[in-house]
Chains A and B, each alone.
Chain A
Amino acid sequence: MGNTILEMRDITKEFSGVKALNGVSLTVEDDEIHALVGENGAGKSTLMNVLSGVYPHGTYGGAILFKDRECSFKDIKDSEKQGIVIIHQELALIPYLSIAENIFLGNEVHHGGVIDWNKSIDKAAGLLRKVGLEENPTTLIGNIGVGKQQLVEIAKALSKDVKLLILDEPTAALNDEESQKLLKLLIDLKSHGVTSILISHKLNEVEQVADHITVIRDGQVIDTLTRGQDSFHEDQIIKSMVGREITDRWPERDTVIGDEVFRVEDWTVYHPQQDDRKVVNRASFNIRAGEVVGFAGLMGAGRTELAMSLFGKSYGRNHSGKVYKNGKEIALNTVNQSIEEGVVYLTEDRKNYGLVLINDIKTNICLPNLRKISDKGILNLNEEIVKADDFRKKLALRCSGLNQNVENLSGGNQQKVVLSKWLMSEPDVLLLDEPTRGIDVGAKYEIYTIINQLAAQGKAVLMISSELPELLGMCDRIYVINEGEVAGCLNRKEASQESIMKTIMTHQKEIKARKSL
C-alpha cells in the first residue's frame, strides 16, 4: 500500500437547490490508476471539476487534501500549479496551431516575453517521445487523429509537471488500438510517478488497468473496489452503478397496443464529414400504435443520429434503407415531407435546435405549422394566438403570456413549447430525443404524463433517453443501440438496467470479434 496523494472529504455541491454531490469522499493513493464509474449524471465530472478548481473553493462543501495539504483552488491554474491536470472529454486543442504550440500554450518557453521556438520544439519532441507519439512537433493538430490528439493532451499535462492526471472518458472517441495504446501509457506513467484518475464508461478497460474502482451514483459513493481484494467482474460493477430503487416516479398507463405504425429497415447513415464512417449501420426497428418505445445506449451510440437522420435527413450523408408508415413505404427526404407524413423529431438540444430564443411563445409554437394559420401564404395573426393559447392550456404552460420570449422560460416550460410546436402539426409518430433533459423533477412528471396521453391517443412514440430508470419506467419495449447498430430489443419484462448494460457489453464484444476477423 502506497501513501495517500489525494483525499477528498465529504464533498457536497449544489446546483440551484439540486445536490449533484452529496457527501462524497474519495481517497487516491500514490502511483495508482483510480477509476471512477457511474451512470450519466451520477456526478463523476462534477467531482472532478471540484477537484481541479473549475468550481472554485467556497462554492462547494467539504475539504480537499492533496499531498496532505489542504487546498483551496480558485481556478484551474491554481490546481495545475500543484500538479493536478484535468483532460476533458472534448479536447481543448487548437486545430490551426502546431503540436508544440499547443503543448506550451499558456505556458510558453520564453525569455522576457519572446518565445524561444527552438527550445520549445526540442522540449516538445522530448515529451512526445515520453508519450510514445511519433510526430513532428511542428505538425498542425488538425492534421493528426483524435487518438494522437489525446496523447498530445497528455504530453501537455506532462509539460506542466503533472502529479495527478484526471482523464474524463479519454477513450470515448478512440478505436480499440488507440485505446490500448493510451491505457498502456497510463500504466507506464504510473511507474514514473504519475497518478491517474480515469473516468470511463468502458468497464472492460477499467477492469484491465484500475487499481481501485469507485462507483458513484446519484452524487454519492456507493462502493470502492480494490484490485486483489474485490471482484472486478462487470456484473458486480453494473449492479452498483445502477442499483437504484425504482419507485412510482412514472405515471401509470394502461397500454393498449395496436397495429404497427412506423417501421424502419436497414437504415444506414454515413458521417457528414468522414466519408467511410457509418454512424448508423443497418438499424431496423418498429413502433406500434399506442406504444412507447425506448432507445437505450451510451453517449455517442448513435441514437440521436439515427432519429435525426430519419427526420428529413437532417443528419449525415448517403442515407439508405426503407421507412414504412402503416405498412406503406414513405420517403422522408426533407423536414417538410416528414412533417407532412406525420413523423416529427423533438431535439435533445432545445436551445440550439428547438427554439428561436429571441422570439415569443406563439411564434415558436407556430413556426413549423404556419400553413395551418394562413391562407395562400398570408398569416392570420389572430388565429395564431388562438392556436397557441390552446396548447398553453393543454400543456399547462406557465408563462406571463403568449408574447413572452421563450428565453425567459424555465427549462420545463421551454420543453413544453417545443412539444406544443410538434403537437400542433398533428403527428402520428413522435421521435422524442431526451425529452426530459435538464428539467426538474416536477416538470419531468408532467412531460411523462403528456407522453402517456399521446400513447393513449394511439400515437407511436419513440423516446431516446440516457437515464435508464426513465426508459424502464416509461417504455413498453426498449431497443438497445450501440455503435450505431441495434444491439437488441428487450420487452418490458426482460428489460432491466443490468440486462441493458449486458446487451451493450455483449454487442461490444461482438463488434470487436467482427473487426478482428
Chain B
Amino acid sequence: MNQLASLFKSNMRKNGMIIALVFIMVLFQILTGGILFRSMNVNNLILQNAYVLILATGMLLCILTGNIDLSVGSVVAFVGAVGAIMMVDWGMPVGLTIFLALLIGIAIGAFHGYFIAYMRIPAFIVTLAGMLIWRGLTMVILNGQTKAPFEKSFQALAAGYLPGREIRIGQFNTLAIVLGLAVSIIFIVSLLKSRRDKVKYNFEVPPFWAELMKIALIVLAINALAFSLANYNGVPIVLILLAFLILLYTFITQKTIFGRHIYALGGNEKAAMLSGVKTQRVMFLVYTNMGLLSALAGIVVAGRLNAATPKAGVNFELDAIASCFIGGASASGGIGTIMGAIIGGLVMGVLNNGMSIMGVGVDWQQAIKGLVLLLAVVFDVSTKKKGLGN
C-alpha cells in the first residue's frame, strides 16, 4: 500500500489533471442527474469539442516554443469561407476542396512562421495581426453573409459516423464494440512490449501489479466509451481523426528528433542553438503546422455547422490556449504534453456541456471557466514549487 502511495505521489503532477477531469465528470454526472454520461450526450461531447482538441494539439507546439498563436480562430473562419466558395459557388468536388483548404492553411501558417522565425517579430504581434487579417478577409470574401449548404460527404468529416450502423448486437453497434476491443488489445500489447524492452535494457520497471492496474483502468475507459457510442449512432468519423492526431503528435513530440528540438528551443533557445538545433527552422515549422491544423479545424467547424459564416471560430484561439495551460503547459515554454492539452480541452468541454445541461447561462459559464483556468494553473505552479523542494 505504501508503494502505491509513493507511486501515486511521484505521478501527482502527471495524474493531477486526469484526476481533476474525472472529478469534474463525476460531479456533473451527479449535478445533471445522470444526463452527462448518456450515450447521446457522450456523442455530443465529442462532436462539440473536436475542433478545440485539434487546435489545442497545434497550439501546444506553439506554447512549447514559449509563444502563442492568436490567429487560429480567424484562420478557421477564413478556411471555412474559402472552402464554402469553392464548393457552393464554383462547384468544386469535396476531396479537392479539402486538399486545397489544407494547402491554404499551410500557406497561412508559413506566412506567420516566416515573420516570427526569420524576421524575429514577436509571435504575439504577428498572430494578432493574423487574427485581424484573416477575420477581415473572411468578411470580405463572404460579403458578410453566410454560405450554405454543403454536400453530405463534406459534413461527414464533422458530423458523420463510420458505416455499418445496421449491424447490431442487440441494441449495440457492432463496429464500435469491435473497435473498442481492438484498441484495447493494441494498447495492452504495446504497453507490454515497452515493458519488455525496458527489462531487456535492465532498467527498473514499475511492479507488474501496478502495470496491470493501469491496463485495467485504461481498458475500462476505452470500452466504456465504445459501449456508450455503440448504444447511439456508432463511432463518429471525427473521433477517428482526433485519435489519429493525438497519437501522431504525441509520437512527434515524445519520440522524434524534431520534437526534442521544439522542447529544447522553448527551454533555452541560445543553448539549443549552440547544440546544433536549427531554431529558426523549428519555429517556422511549428507555426506552419499550426496553420495546417487550423485549416483542418476550419473544415470540421464548417462541416458541423453546415455553413461558413463570418463569425465562425470567434474566440477559438482562447479555448485552445486555455486547454494547453489547464493541461499543465508552461507559459514560458519548454514544458507541456499533447495528452495534457487534450485533457485540458476535455475539462473545458465537460464544464461547458455540463453547465449547459444544468441550464447555467453563458455569462456564468464564462466566469466559471475563467476561474477554473486560474485555479488549474495555480495548482500547477504550487505543485512545481513543492517538486523543487524535494
Contact = CB atoms under 8 A, between A and B. Distances in A.
Contacts of A314: 273-274
Contacts of B267: 356-359
A442 interface: no
Contact of B260 (A311, A358, A379): A379
A379 B272 contact: no
A377 B256 contact: yes
Given A378-B256, A382-B197, A382-B198, A355 B274 contact: no
Given A370-B257, A371-B257, A336 B276 contact: yes
A381 interface: yes
B271 A355 contact: yes
Contacts of A334: 276
B276 A378 contact: no
Interface string B254-274: 111110110110011011111
B257 A356 contact: no
B255 A353 contact: no
Contact of B264 (A339, A347, A352, A356): A356
Nearest to A367: B275
B242 to A, nearest CB: 23
Contacts of B257: 370-371, 374, 377-379
Nearest to A407: B388
Contact of B276 (A358, A368, A377, A385): A368
A41 to B, nearest CB: 25
B272 A367 contact: yes
A335 interface: yes
A386 B200 CA distance: 12
Nearest to A374: B257
A312 B256 CA distance: 24
B139 interface: no
Contacts of A335: 273-276
A353 B334 contact: no
B303 to A, nearest CB: 33
A374 B259 CA distance: 12
A436 B201 CA distance: 35
B277 interface: yes
A336 B275 CA distance: 8
Contacts of A359: 263-264, 267, 334
Contact of B275 (A371, A381, A421): A421
A204 interface: no
Interface string B315-359: 000000000000000100011000000000000000000000000
Interface centre among B197, B201, B274, B275 (most CB of A within 10 A): B275
Interface in A332-376: 334-336, 339, 345, 347, 352-359, 363, 366-368, 370-371, 374
A382 B201 contact: yes
Contacts of A357: 267-268
Contacts of B209: none
A269 B148 CA distance: 62
B364 interface: no
A408 interface: yes
A354 B274 contact: yes
A71 B255 CA distance: 61
Interface string B239-258: 00000000000000011111
A382 B198 CA distance: 7
A265 to B, nearest CB: 24
B268 A352 contact: yes
Nearest to B204: A401
Contact of B268 (A345, A355, A381, A382): A355
A335 B278 CA distance: 9
A168 B257 CA distance: 46
B90 interface: no
Interface centre among A336, A357, A359, A366 (most CB of B within 10 A): A359
Contacts of B263: 356, 359, 363
A386 B276 contact: no
A356 B273 CA distance: 11
Nearest to B333: A358
B335 A358 contact: yes
B208 interface: no
A381 B334 contact: no
B47 to A, nearest CB: 33
B51 to A, nearest CB: 29
Contact of B271 (A311, A312, A339, A352): A352
Nearest to A368: B275
B276 A339 contact: yes
Nearest to A350: B271
Contact of A370 (B260, B268, B274, B334): B260
Contact of B277 (A367, A377, A381): A367
Contacts of A339: 276
Contacts of B261: 370
Interface centre among B198, B257, B272 (most CB of A within 10 A): B257
Contacts of B335: 358
Given A354-B274, A356-B264, A358-B267, A408 B388 contact: yes
A312 B272 CA distance: 13
Contacts of A336: 276, 278
A347 B274 CA distance: 9
Interface centre among B261, B276, B277 (most CB of A within 10 A): B276
B260 A363 contact: yes
Interface in B188-240: 197-198, 200-201, 203
Contacts of B264: 356, 359, 363, 367
B323 to A, nearest CB: 21
A426 to B, nearest CB: 14
A73 B145 CA distance: 71
A374 B251 CA distance: 14
A339 B258 CA distance: 18
Contacts of B272: 356, 367
B367 to A, nearest CB: 33
B256 A379 contact: yes
Contacts of B198: 382
Interface in A137-188: none
Contacts of A385: 201, 203
A332 to B, nearest CB: 12
B362 to A, nearest CB: 38
B35 to A, nearest CB: 42
B278 to A, nearest CB: 8
A371 B255 CA distance: 12
A174 B274 CA distance: 30
A340 to B, nearest CB: 9
A382 B271 CA distance: 24
A308 B17 CA distance: 44
Contacts of A347: 274
Contacts of B271: 352-356, 367
B286 to A, nearest CB: 16
B358 to A, nearest CB: 40
B317 to A, nearest CB: 25
Contacts of A356: 263-264, 267-268, 271-272, 334
Nearest to B277: A367
A117 B270 CA distance: 42
A114 B268 CA distance: 43
Contact of B274 (A345, A374, A381): A345
A377 B268 contact: no
A353 B276 contact: no
A381 B260 contact: no
Contacts of B200: 382
Nearest to B261: A370
Contacts of B260: 363, 366-367, 370, 379
| For the complex of A and B, 3 pairs with smallest distance between CB atoms | A356-B267, A368-B275, A335-B276
7 contacts: A314-B273, A356-B264, A358-B335, A363-B263, A374-B257, A386-B201, A408-B388
Given A355-B268, A367-B260, 6 more contacts: A312-B276, A336-B278, A356-B272, A370-B261, A377-B256, A421-B275
